[in-house]
Amino acid sequence: MPSVPCSMKPGKAADSRRALGAAGERLAAAYLTRAGYRIVERNWRCAFGELDLVASLGATLVFVEVRTRRGPTFGSPEESLTPRKRARLARLADAYLATLAEAPATWRIDFVAVDLDAHGRPHLRHLPSVAGEP
pLDDT at residue number 3: 40
Q: Which pLDDT does position 131 carry in this prediction?
A: 65
This prediction's pTM = 0.83
- Give the rounded distance of the alpha carbon of 82 from its chain centre: 14
Output the pLDDT for position 12. 63
Q: What is the CATH number of domain 11-131?
A: 3.40.1350.10
Q: How far is the first Cα of the chain from the last one, in angstroms, to the nearest whole number?
A: 50
Between CA 2 and CA 112 the distance in angstroms is: 40
Would you state the pLDDT for residue 94?
95
What was the pLDDT predicted at 74?
A: 64
pLDDT along the chain (134 residues), means of 10: 43 73 93 98 95 96 92 71 91 96 93 89 90 55
Q: How far is CA 88 from CA 8, 13, 77, 93, 114, in A?
A: 24, 25, 17, 9, 21
